[in-house]
């Protein structure tokens, strides 16, 4: 037919049927491919997907670990700053506690000095140790009291425990006292048990030695030694130390004794200076009255 458009001018009726069959098959294949492809991919691609999941899981774990570490770091940063603040506070409190402890110890020592002064018979002045000699030439203490407080040369220095030494130099507000262990200090002493006298003197090694003890004296280790009150700016009866060894001199004229002092000279912080060795309460006057010829004679 002239003027009619032919779709398949070169194909016969048999070819058209084959084409239609192929078209239907192709449509069916296209319609069925997604479902079959999903099954095939699930069976074939699952192992491959598991392999690919390993690095992704590792990366995810690393990312999660980094986030956790960062959060912990931020938290620890705050704890670190708080710890520094607490350490500073602890140091401050420890410093305050140490100062309070020192004040308490000083109060105890001053209370002992005050109690000794109140119950003692002699006029004294309390002084603080503000320095020590820095050389080996002599063993001395520097005190914060001097001539303005009534301190003079040759006055005795003591503590409630016993004898410390003797003042050798004074100024308006300070003084220097040699320790009893210094060789330049000599004090008359008495063995308390035997009542035998001698001279107590320091040695170059920093010990105490009592010389010129009578050769027949029964002095022995453990005897207490006190001041005799004859010379040296000390009254009778102040404790010096304890005998630790007794020796006889080469000529056997006298004995000597090594004495362990009762005062720890390395820990002195406060001392008392004897302004007078005369009793303050009139005891000496009473003793003189009892010892006077009038009293001994029985006259009124």
Distance CA 76, CA 2 (A): 95
Q: 62-88, pLDDT tens digit by residue?
A: 777 787 777 777 677 777 777 787 887
Other CB atoms closer than 10 Å to residue 170's CB: what's the count? 22
Residue 227 — φ and ψ, nearest 5°?
A: -75, 145
Q: Where are the domains of the chain?
A: 56-119, 122-279
Average pLDDT over residues 92-116: 70
pLDDT, position 70: 74
pTM listed for this prediction: 0.58
pLDDT exceeds 70 at position 296: no
Top-level CATH class of 122-279? mainly beta
Q: 212-269, pLDDT tens digit by residue?
A: 999 889 999 999 999 998 876 888 889 999 999 998 766 668 899 999 999 998 888 8
Q: 11-37, pLDDT tens digit by residue?
A: 456 667 777 777 776 666 555 555 555
Print burial letters for 126-148: b (CB count within 10 Å at least 16), e (below 16).
Answer: bbebeeeeeeeeebbbbbebbee
pLDDT, position 33: 57
Structural tokens at position 192 = 């308390």
């Amino acid at each position: 037919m002239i003027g009619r458009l032919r779709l398949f001018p070169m194909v016969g009726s048999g070819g058209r049927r084959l084409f239609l069959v192929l078209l239907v098959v192709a449509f069916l294949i296209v319609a069925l491919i997604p479902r079959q492809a999903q099954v095939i991919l699930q069976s074939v691609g699952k192992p491959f997907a598991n392999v690919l999941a390993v690095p992704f899981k590792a990366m995810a774990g690393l990312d999660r670990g980094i986030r956790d570490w960062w959060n912990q770091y931020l938290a620890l940063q705050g704890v670190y700053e708080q710890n520094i603040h607490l350490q500073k506070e602890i140091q401050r409190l420890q410093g305050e506690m140490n100062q309070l402890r020192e004040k308490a110890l000083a109060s105890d020592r001053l209370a002992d000095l005050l109690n000794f002064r109140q119950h003692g018979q002699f006029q004294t002045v309390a002084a603080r140790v503000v320095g020590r000699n820095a050389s080996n030439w002599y063993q001395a203490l520097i005190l914060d009291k001097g001539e303005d407080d009534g301190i003079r040369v040759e006055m005795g220095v003591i503590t409630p425990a016993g004898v410390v030494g003797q003042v050798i130099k004074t100024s308006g507000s300070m003084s220097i006292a040699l320790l009893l262990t210094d060789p330049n200090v000599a004090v008359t002493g008495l063995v308390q048990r035997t009542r035998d006298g001698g001279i107590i003197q320091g040695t170059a090694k920093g010990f105490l030695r009592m010389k010129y003890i009578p050769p027949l004296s029964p002095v022995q280790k453990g005897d207490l030694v006190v001041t005799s009150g004859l010379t040296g700016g000390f009254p009778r009866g102040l404790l010096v130390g304890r005998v630790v060894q007794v020796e006889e001199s080469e000529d056997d004229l006298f004995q000597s004794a090594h004495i362990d002092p009762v005062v720890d000279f390395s820990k002195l912080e406060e001392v008392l200076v004897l302004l007078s060795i005369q009793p303050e309460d009139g005891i000496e006057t009473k003793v003189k009255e009892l010892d006077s010829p009038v009293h001994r004679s029985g006259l009124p």
